[in-house]
Amino acid sequence: LDSRQGEWAMHQDDLDKANRLNHEEAIDRLCEEYPDRREFIRDSYSEILKRVAADATVHTYVPIFISREVKTLLKMKELTRSSLS
């Protein structure tokens, strides 16, 4: 039983690393698309991830959903900025 728990813990570590990598890649893609909004992207992505990650049962698509939400926030921010000008 202990060896299986150890294997599971190692597997979880690998999944955590893969998830972190997937999130970093998603953030990098957003930053490439919106290079002048890097800080906003990182902050927004992190906040959304905190809210979503705890409830997610399947983490595969979480970076896609968060990226969509960040893009929506960026567009809303841009629309607000342009309507004030």
d(CA 10, CA 3): 11
- What is the tens place of the pLDDT at every residue in 13-54? 666 888 899 999 999 999 999 999 999 999 999 999 999 888
Confidence at residue 85, expressed as pLDDT on a 0 to 100 scale = 61
Average per-residue pLDDT for the chain: 85
Cβ atoms of 13 and 31 closer than 8 Å:
no
Amino acid sitting at position 61: Y
**Residue listed under structure tokens 């150890």:** 6
* pLDDT over 70, % of the chain: 81
The larger pLDDT score, comparing residue 47 to residue 12, is at 47
Token pair in block for residue 74: 């960026």
pTM of the model: 0.78
Confidence at residue 15, expressed as pLDDT on a 0 to 100 scale = 62
Confidence at residue 76, expressed as pLDDT on a 0 to 100 scale = 93
